[in-house]
Amino acid sequence: MKYKILKVFILFFFLTTKSFGLVSVDITRGNLDPLPLAVSNFYLDENLTDNIKKLQLEVKIPELIENNLSRSGLFFALEKKSFIQKPEVAHNRPRFEDWSFIKAQVLVTGKVSLEKDGRVKVEFKLWDIVSATELSALAFYTASDNWRRVSHIISDKIYERLTGEKGYFDSRIIYVSETGPKVDRKKRLAVMDQDGYGIKYLTLGNELVLTPRFSPTSQNVTYMSYFKNLPRVYLLNIETGIQDLVGDFPGMTFAPRFSSDGKKIIMSFAQEGNSDIYTMDIKTRVVERLTDHPSIDTSPSYSPDGSYITFNSDRSGFQQIYTMKSDGANVKRISFGEGLYGTPVWSPRGDLIAFTKLYKNKFYIGVMRSDGSGERLLTENYYQEAPSWAPNGRVLIFYRETASDSGGRGGGAKLWSIDLTGYNERLIQTPTDASDPSWSGLLSEKQKN
Amino acid sequence: MQKSLKISFIAHFLILVLSSLALPFLVGKVQVPVLISVDLVQIGDRTNLPYAPKVTDGEKTDKKIKDKVVTNQAPPKIIPKEKPDAVPLPENIQKIKELLEKRQNPVKVEDLTKQTSEFEKKEIFDPNKISALIDKSKKDNAEINNKPNIEATQSQQKNIVASKLTITQEDAIKAQIFKCWNIPIGLPYNENLTVRVKVKLNKDGSLISSEILDQTRMNAAGQTYYKILAESALRAVKLCNPLKVPSTDYEKWKEMQLNFDAKEMLKG
């Protein structure tokens, strides 16, 4: 008995004599400044053919990576002139002092060489200059004219390795290209890489097209066009060019969007001045009605897990944002601010809903949490609308129209992107006027599906 | 005998139960209520406001003191004019102070100097000293300015009895690392991601070593976020090398544990 008590006590003393001597300092704040990054030119292997050498991949690939990363606003690319080490030496193992001397914190090096089967091997290494370690190294094999795609994938890998978040560079944007005078506007569907390269026109422009939306999982696009003078929702595969009318509705259908698994289309169907929300299964063509209310319910968008839907409705008297379960139950108003709220889009991360707000004749693009709290307006302008999320949920693309003068001159529409901080706003160059952009998912992930 | 043993056993057992309830490491996982992060601040003798020494302000005050002393027709002995390099005696300073306090708007010299942090004290001495050297007539005032500073250091010494860093010291270290730490913005803010880094420092603040205390987690599969955060923390420590450290209490800060937590920043 006594021994037992003694044992308990001994044990107790061992447990309590744990040392708490170390001074502990909590670091709960840091800076969100862009990370100083050096992208060295790549090392070009001697065995490459002259044709490939002409492409100057050793310069073009790092240049594209650098552009991608700097445009994200999270990285600050250092001037190449200040680099001390040669690409081939640096790629082997950089002399870290040389790079920390120019204040680089991370370094990207790479090498381009030829494989026996004629493909090009592009490899890159990411170095932590401050801790003098290699963070990652990967190689890609591809046809030499596919170098842009490879550069985007490499940019994504670097972005992901340093921020912890998936990238968005290997993705495309579909939009409505607008040309011609205001009274006779020619609208065509166009698709391009997220950095504005490789524009392809998908329609001829003899029919009006509006609100194209990328499927998050495939090369399918849904949009609104006119059929027998009525707006109707269409489905288009941009690889095959096959176009399809969605559902056999007796009236007009509009504001289509894919579900997050890409299997359904959700849209508005209007009859006798009342519009409600419907879904259609793409394979089985089964149509389901989700809302039944005398008000105008439109602009539906699924949450990424597919269990909720956000939409806007004027059932309260003014247009506001609502959420409901994917079967139409539990309708809940989430926006309560002054002004009108529209075009809600659920973020691919699931935490936020982006929207357009009209208040005192100004248009705002903003975000709020999915319960309606934490509303933040990111940008204000004369006219801007239709935000669409980048696949990682950090950047939004939208279009903005500038006011035309009294003679009707000027006033074109352009695509803009803004990140969640609200500071990194950028124009996306397009050769024509552009509206209604929609961001695709990551292309590399689509191929897996 | 038996009875007293029983009572003793029960009493001890009770203590054990109570202490195991109170000491978290004996219970294992404790249900912690929703954490509201509050910066626990240990109040030191001095405020931690970053204070940039303003020489011009000091000079202005000096002038005011002089002017006011003169217009008050103070007895000549109070303003020491005898020798330019004479150090005022403590009584003289006391008298000047008393005189100033009698006036309607007394200019308190101490207030200026009290807003100094441990690290900036040296810098604060210098400008006045230099000006005092250049213009010997100012020497007296420089000495007046010095006086409360010395007192401050002495009272600081008393404070050191406490085993923790004082607020000014801790904040000075924090402020430096805040600047060096580039937060990886993609990390989730709803997960427990605190990276503990142990740093060992030389007396001059230069880094001897830095290590992640939870190495196993860093290399474990599925802990990508933790790894990225840990790497950024190590970069921060190295970028801040050498740290500006207190001139005293080396024993206290030669080894420190830095807890990096980006939750608040990422939540926005």
Mean pLDDT per segment of 10 residues, for chain A of length 449 residues? 64 50 85 91 87 88 95 92 89 92 94 90 95 94 92 96 92 93 86 93 86 88 84 88 82 89 91 88 90 91 94 92 93 92 94 94 93 92 92 94 71 90 90 94 72
CA distance A118 to chain B (A): 36
- B235: which chain A residues are within 8 Å (Cβ-Cβ)? 105, 128, 130-131
Closest among A274, A256, A425, A423 to A345, alpha carbons compared: A256
The domain locations on chain B are 55-159, 165-267
Query: How far, in Å, CA of A400 to CA of B125, rounded?
Result: 57
For residue B242, cis peptide bond before it (omega within 30 degrees of 0): yes
Out of A9, A26, A392, closest to residue B261 by CB:
A26
pLDDT at A53: 83
Are the beta carbons of B257 and A135 separated by less than 8 Å? no
Query: How far, in Å, CA of A277 to CA of A262, rounded?
Result: 17
CA dist B100 → A84, B106, B146 (Å): 63, 5, 17
Question: With an 8 Å Cβ cutoff, is A165 touching chain B?
Answer: yes
Residue with the larger pLDDT of the pair A415 and B67: A415
Q: What is the ipTM of this complex?
A: 0.78
Are the beta carbons of A23 and B257 separated by less than 8 Å? yes
Same fold for the pair A35-163 and A172-448:
no
Question: With an 8 Å Cβ cutoff, is B165 touching chain A?
Answer: yes
**Across A35-39, B68-72, B211-215, which has the greatest mean pLDDT?**
A35-39
Residue with the larger pLDDT of the pair A100 and B159: A100
User: What's the average model confidence in pLDDT over B94-113?
Assistant: 49
pLDDT at B232: 92
pLDDT at B62: 44
* Residue whose structure tokens are 């849209």: A267
Out of B25, B173, B235, closest to residue A131 by CB:
B235
- CATH superfamily, domain A172-448, is TolB, C-terminal domain (2.120.10.30)
CA distance B231 to chain A (A): 8
Query: How far, in Å, CA of A408 to CA of A239, rounded?
Result: 38
CA dist B193 → B25, B184, B214, B226, B228 (Å): 20, 12, 11, 6, 10
Are the beta carbons of B186 and A128 separated by less than 8 Å? no
By CB atoms closer than 10 A (0-12, 13-18, 19+), residue A167 is buried
- A23: which chain B residues are within 8 Å (Cβ-Cβ)? 164-165, 252-253, 255-257
The count of C-alpha atoms lying within 13 angstroms of the C-alpha of A127, restricted to the half-sphere facing its C-beta, is: 23
The three-state secondary structure class of B77 is coil
Query: Which residues are within 8 A (CB) of B227 and not within 5 positions of it... i.e. 6 or more apart?
Result: B218, B219
- A160: which chain B residues are within 8 Å (Cβ-Cβ)? 186
User: What's the average model confidence in pLDDT over B169-173?
Assistant: 85
Residue with the larger pLDDT of the pair B232 and B47: B232
pLDDT at B187: 80
**Chains A–B, number of C-beta pairs less than 8 Å apart:** 123
Tell me if A3 sits within 8 A of B233, measured CB to CB: no
CATH class (in words) of the domain with range B165-267: alpha beta
* pLDDT reading at B191 higher than 90: no
The domain locations on chain A are 35-163, 172-448
Query: How far, in Å, CA of A190 to CA of A434, rounded?
Result: 9
* pLDDT reading at B72 higher than 60: no
- B256: which chain A residues are within 8 Å (Cβ-Cβ)? 22-25
- CATH superfamily, domain A35-163, is TolB, N-terminal domain (3.40.50.10070)
Question: With an 8 Å Cβ cutoff, is A272 touching chain B?
Answer: no
The pLDDT-based confidence of B108 (bands split at 50, 70, 90) is: very low
Question: With an 8 Å Cβ cutoff, is A155 touching chain B?
Answer: no
CA distance A400 to chain B (A): 27
* pLDDT reading at B251 higher than 90: no
Are the beta carbons of A26 and B239 separated by less than 8 Å? no
Which residues of B, range 197-236, sit inside 8 Å of A by Cβ? 198, 224-225, 228-229, 231, 233-236
Closest among A419, A396, A444, A398 to A152, alpha carbons compared: A444
pLDDT at B24: 56
- A32: which chain B residues are within 8 Å (Cβ-Cβ)? 182-183, 185, 265
Are the beta carbons of B258 and A27 separated by less than 8 Å? yes
Query: 10 Å Cβ neighbour count for A315?
Result: 17
User: What's the average model confidence in pLDDT over B253-265?
Assistant: 88
